[in-house]
Amino acid sequence: MILYRGEVYDNSSQDELLDKLPTDLYTPISEGRKLDVSTVIDACDQLARRVMAGDFSEITDPFIEAFNISSEQFNDMARMFTREKLEYKCSIELTDDTKVIDGSFTRERYPLGVLLHIAAGNVDVLPAYSVVEGLLAGNINILKLPMGDSGLSVRLLTELIKAQPSISDFVYVFDVPSTDTENIKRLADLSDAVVVWGGDMAVRAARTMANTNTKIISWGHKLSFAYVYPDCSDEDLRLLAESICVTNQLLCSSCQGIFVATDSKEEQTSVAGRFFSCLKEANSRLGSVSYGMRAKNAITIYNERLESDDTGHEIISEDGVSVIISDDSSLELSYLYRNVWVKRLPFDKTGELKKYKDYLQTAAVLTSDKETFARTARRLGDVGVVRITSAGKMSRMNSGEAHDGMYALRAYSRIVETEILG
């Protein structure tokens, strides 16, 4: 499906529309039309309220089921798009006040211009969300749909345009496959920046496709972990296990594994054992993962056991969830779906995390001592972690919060300085 100036077209019109795009795309700019933030907020607010009222249950229900989230959690997500939340977000991220500097020039925020969004397919609402952020900063947005898009993005964006028709020539959606590099290059050439969501491969591909005068803004895959002191409470471990089960370790902010703040194998094994009981309990309380995933887990854990003589890993597993105890201290992706690694990393070695640079995102710090929490949080911030939370808050969403340590709306803006003629 294609969305072009508010109209939905079949994919068969794609070539024709791509040819027309260079003439139409810059129309708002050449006509001096700006997108007012309040217009975008108003459209989002209307849509969010309808979503919460169940107007789109035929698409939101499968989403809720697929991600195994409660309707309360879902409403929290939808609430992020209400007027109140978006106004707050903009007040933090956008510095819209025009400043007069030394009485001789003005300093003002402008949108970057045109953004090409290349979104990952793992979260259905993400492509539309990325476009909304582009709109809030006042940009014209081109969205390249991810493979296997369910049609949700076009649906949501169409509704947004219905609510505020002036948005229509600020949104374009194309269904160009990732392999069609020629057309993606064409789209990138027309854009001021490529906003890419996804793993290293996606980011690398975007870099090779964009010219040097096209910015790359990447929201790449991140790794998050828990930093656990042996003095932490069982309640903390329980909350951590619960957040792992709720997100199935799929989000950038989901905990992949646990670093135990110790040099001692004994303490590591003890934390692993305590955590495993919590994981097993949370798994049975929240219901196990889908059959296909359970089957994958079963093979993966079996394979780990076969390899354990070589790897030295110790595996604790039951009911399709596992804890893998290992002697190295590298930060890595887990097997996902409730399989958690447990490694040792004493506080004085936390500097080793620096090497992961931009991969680092969230760390939960589990300790019963507030001072230790503060000291650890500072250290983790120094090495590159951008969110430090308590056990159960790793994947919380706060309005106005930065993405991976950056304000998206600022990244989608530029500053223009204009001299005041005397």
Partner 1 sequence: MGFTTRLFSYKDIYDTEGSQELFVQAMKENCIHHYGNCEGYREILDKFSFDPKAISSFDDVVKIPFIPTLYLKHHDLQSVPKRKQLIKATSSGTSGRMSRVSLDMKTITDGARMVINVGRYHKLWSIKPVNYIIFGYQPTKSNQTAVSKTALGFTFFAPAAGRTFALENTSSGYKLSWDRVLKAMEKASKSKLPMRTIGFPAYTYFLLRDMKAKGIKYKMPKGSMVTLGGGWKQFYTEKVEKEDFYSLVKEVLDIDEDHIVEFFGAVEHPILYTDCKCHHFHVPVYSRVVIRDPDTFLPLPDGQPGLVNLMTPMMHATPVTSIMTDDLGVLHSEECPCGAKSPWLEIIGRVGIGDIVTCAAGADEYLKGGKS
Footprint of partner 1 on this chain (CB under 8 A)? 66, 148, 288, 290-300, 302-303, 305-307, 309, 319-320
In the bound state with partner 1, the residue whose beta carbon lies nearer, of 146 and 320, is 320
> With respect to partner 1, which residue has the nearer C-beta, 39 or 181?
181
Instruction: Give the shortest CB-187-to-partner 1 separation in angstroms.
Output: 24
Which is nearer to partner 1, 293 or 383 (by Cβ)? 293
Find the shortest distance in angstroms from Cβ 300 to partner 1.
Answer: 7
Pick between residue 215 and residue 294 the one whose CB is nearest to partner 1: 294
By C-beta, is 56 or 67 nearer to partner 1?
67
Smallest distance, Å, CB 256 to partner 1? 17
CB of 234 to partner 1, least distance (A): 27
Q: Could you tell me the smallest distance in angstroms from the CB atom of residue 317 to partner 1?
A: 11
Shortest reach from residue 408's CB to partner 1, in Å: 28
Q: Report how far residue 49's alpha carbon sits from residue 43's, in angstroms, rounded to the nearest whole number.
A: 10
Which of residues 66 and 374 has its CB atom nearest to partner 1 in the complex?
66
Distance between CA atoms of residues 46 and 330, nearest Å: 46
CB of residue 150 vs partner 1: minimum separation in angstroms? 11
Q: Between 66 and 416, whose beta carbon lies closer to partner 1?
A: 66
Q: Which is nearer to partner 1, 179 or 212 (CB)?
A: 179
Question: Is the Cβ of residue 27 or residue 290 nearer to partner 1 in the bound state?
Answer: 290
Q: How far is the CB of 304 from partner 1 (least distance, A)?
A: 10
Phi then psi for residue 288, to 5 deg, are: -75, 170
Q: Give me the least distance between CB of 161 and partner 1, in Å please.
A: 29
| Strands lying side by side in the sheet with 2-4 | 7-9, 2-4, 171-174, 140-144, 114-118, 193-198, 215-220
